[in-house]
A and B are shown apart, each in its own frame.
Chain A
Amino acid sequence: MTDNGVLKVAMPKGRIYKQASKLFREAGLTIPEDFDDTRKLIIPVPEANMEFIMAKPVDVPTYVEYGVADIGIVGKDVLMEENKDVYELLDLGIAKCRMSVIGLPGWKPVIHPRVATKYPNVASQYFRELGQQVEVIKLNGSIELAPLIGLADRIVDMVETGQTLKENGLVERETLFSVTSRLIANRVSYRLKNNAIQALCDRLGQQIAVRG
């Protein structure tokens, strides 16, 4: 959205960033390795004519919607939860996991079902569509605790390997959808920086196809 041709990229800090920067490098973009552990919030990447804005993953769609970042990388889970008006351009195929309903083994329907989750919109919509009346409780972390200590009878959360669930004696009951990271773009940047964004999409797309 800025004029000088530098593409502002909202990057999610942490797990997804490592995989995304690896994909960018494989696609031939010059991104120095030492950025992976930096604490800087704004990182110029002049070699690739980009600027990375290091954001909390859940905030990436907000930066992009307001246009302070032209494009961003974000999990489908966040996109589903936040429901922002942005272009979803490319499935990057990284940070693969799934959104699932999880409970204790031998779960049986209860009179007043409660579901704990970091994704209240996703969870509410899922159960509404099933025609089930549940109370959704928003938590900010350690969701697995909720069924163990009786706050909720089930949870809706992301599952990558299932290891955390196994260690806590929980089982996956249903999968809502599978999750990967996506490349998103601001509505205005998508038009005003069309060439740069399309070129990036093409390079990444080719590399994703190579990875298979």
Chain B
Amino acid sequence: MSKPKVFEKPTGVKDYLPHAVSKLRRIERNVLECMRRWGYEQIITPTMEYYDTVGVASATSDQKLFKLLNQRGTTIVLRSEMTSPIARVASSLLKESPFPLRLSYHANVFRAFEEEAGRDAEFFQTGVELVGDPSSEADAEVIALAIASLKAAGVPSFKIAVGHVGFLNGLFGEALPDRPEEQENLKAHLLQRDHVGYRDALKKLELEDNVRGELEGILRLRGGVEVCEQALSLSRSTDAQAAIRQLCEVWEVLAAYGLQEHVLIDLTMIGDFSYYTGMTFEGYASHLGFPVCSGGRYDNLLAQFGRPAAATGFALKTTRILEVAEGDESEENRVLVVYGKESRREALHEAERLREEGLIAVTEKADALEAVLPELEAEAAEGPFVHRGMTFGSLVVYGQEEEGQQ
């Protein structure tokens, strides 16, 4: 490849200009404040981790990790998500802290270049982990908090689809006992969202007709809580039944929160089977072709860091939410303070006073105040005005016999 031109940057990374940053910061602030009110405390972990610890434990596939070598030749990864770093902290620095731990974060994470559409190499996630509580109450809490967070972020309309990895595991285990390869094959088709391939694979399997019909029927298990009842009648496997009962409990708690309108049950929703151990969910917003949040229960992760514990959580895809979140940053509280040389002291003091009041004050010395003033005052009289590319709500002038304001 030729040497990059001066304005170029690596593929998949972005600059955020002031307008985008102020929106991003507002979302971040509102969401973290929302999480804080639910008792989640924010933590910060390093951008770099060891490949052999956090890298290996992470749900991100190996080829999507950014890897580098440190001076000693040890492989380092740029964090690809925040769940594994938090699991590491919960098992080490917070080892003595009693469960449950409620932790939140807002962080940039890194994924090596992917072919898929709309994916950046560096993006922001805001999320929580609830560690050490295996109950359905905890699962419902993180779903309810995900809904509250999406609202706090200003996402106007959205749905959360909830599934459970235990259902398909149990169902396939019962229908195809001692045929793990065939089970894996069916799961792989579902994971790739290839329903045609899934049905074709079923046709080729040696199965009783009614079992084949049931396995085909799972593609329709999407909707409200009635789906759980349909699912219960489909499988007699204890694992599948236990999974559905847990989902029903989660639904009951969500109903008590009064949040059913936002939630769908979707038993075809497949997370990563090797990572999630229970309930999983994804959030979808209108006018955005990609999910805005995802989460679930991962009871096996913390054991990899030496403190076995149940855990559940979610991450908002904050960079995506930036595209759909409503509410614009107001420029109303920005004041332009213009002064002549003789009035510098008063003007700078006034600016400081305005800042202490919580306003934004920008100062500008005018060499020929009389010449620029009429135009500025005329603009300012019409309400918010643009001066040198910046929008101001009001104007304060120092250095004239007659002080002009607004």
Closest to B223 in A: A194
* A3 and B157 form a contact (CB under 8 A): yes
Given A85-B117, A191-B159, decide whether A67 and B193 contact each other with a Cβ distance below 8 A.
Answer: no
Tell me, yes or no, whether A187 is within 8 Å of chain B by CB: yes
Given A62-B117, A88-B196, decide whether A187 and B222 contact each other with a Cβ distance below 8 A.
Answer: no
Of the candidates A2, A85, A88, A192, the one whose C-beta lies within 8 Å of that of B195 is: A88
* A91 and B196 form a contact (CB under 8 A): yes
* A187 and B290 form a contact (CB under 8 A): yes
Of the candidates B284, B285, B289, the one whose C-beta lies within 8 Å of that of A66 is: B289
* B193 partner residues in chain A, CB cutoff 8 A: 85-88, 187
* A87 and B195 form a contact (CB under 8 A): yes
* A86 partner residues in chain B, CB cutoff 8 A: 193
Interface string of B191-230 (1 = CB under 8 A from A): 0011111011000000000000000000010110000000
Question: DSSP majority for the B interface?
Answer: mixed
* B222 partner residues in chain A, CB cutoff 8 A: 191, 194, 198
Q: How big is chain B's contact interface, by range? A: 20 to 34
A99 to chain B minimum Cβ distance, whole angstroms, is 16
* A62 partner residues in chain B, CB cutoff 8 A: 117
Tell me, yes or no, whether A114 is within 8 Å of chain B by CB: no
* B116 partner residues in chain A, CB cutoff 8 A: 65, 84-85
A183 to chain B minimum Cβ distance, whole angstroms, is 9
Closest to A89 in B: B195
* B117 and A84 form a contact (CB under 8 A): yes
Residues of A174-194 contacting chain B, CB below 8 A:
182, 186-189, 191-192, 194
B179 to chain A minimum Cβ distance, whole angstroms, is 24
B338 to chain A minimum Cβ distance, whole angstroms, is 47
* A1 and B157 form a contact (CB under 8 A): no
Closest to B285 in A: A188
Of the candidates A3, A89, A182, the one whose C-beta lies within 8 Å of that of B286 is: A3
* B287 partner residues in chain A, CB cutoff 8 A: 1-3
* A165 partner residues in chain B, CB cutoff 8 A: none
Of the candidates A1, A65, A84, A182, the one whose C-beta lies within 8 Å of that of B288 is: A1
| Interface hub of B115, B196, B200, B223 (most chain A Cβ within 10 A) | B196
Tell me, yes or no, whether A23 is within 8 Å of chain B by CB: no
* B290 partner residues in chain A, CB cutoff 8 A: 67, 187-188
Tell me, yes or no, whether A29 is within 8 Å of chain B by CB: no
* B196 and A187 form a contact (CB under 8 A): no
* A90 and B266 form a contact (CB under 8 A): no
* B289 partner residues in chain A, CB cutoff 8 A: 1, 65-68, 186-189
Given A84-B117, A88-B197, decide whether A67 and B161 contact each other with a Cβ distance below 8 A.
Answer: no
Q: Give bound CA distance, A68 to B117, whole Å.
A: 12
* A90 partner residues in chain B, CB cutoff 8 A: 195-196
* B220 partner residues in chain A, CB cutoff 8 A: 198
* A87 partner residues in chain B, CB cutoff 8 A: 193, 195
* B195 partner residues in chain A, CB cutoff 8 A: 87-90
* B286 partner residues in chain A, CB cutoff 8 A: 1-3, 192
Interface string of B142-165 (1 = CB under 8 A from A): 000000000000000101010000
* A186 partner residues in chain B, CB cutoff 8 A: 289
Of the candidates A65, A91, A182, the one whose C-beta lies within 8 Å of that of B117 is: A65
Q: Give bound CA distance, A65 to B193, whole Å.
A: 12
Tell me, yes or no, whether B291 is within 8 Å of chain A by CB: yes
B406 to chain A minimum Cβ distance, whole angstroms, is 42
Closest to B160 in A: A191
* A182 and B291 form a contact (CB under 8 A): no
Closest to B115 in A: A83
Tell me, yes or no, whether B118 is within 8 Å of chain A by CB: yes
Tell me, yes or no, whether B253 is within 8 Å of chain A by CB: no
* A188 and B223 form a contact (CB under 8 A): no
* A85 partner residues in chain B, CB cutoff 8 A: 116-117, 193
Q: Give bound CA distance, A105 to B220, whole Å.
A: 49
Interface string of A140-170 (1 = CB under 8 A from B): 0000000000000000000000000000000
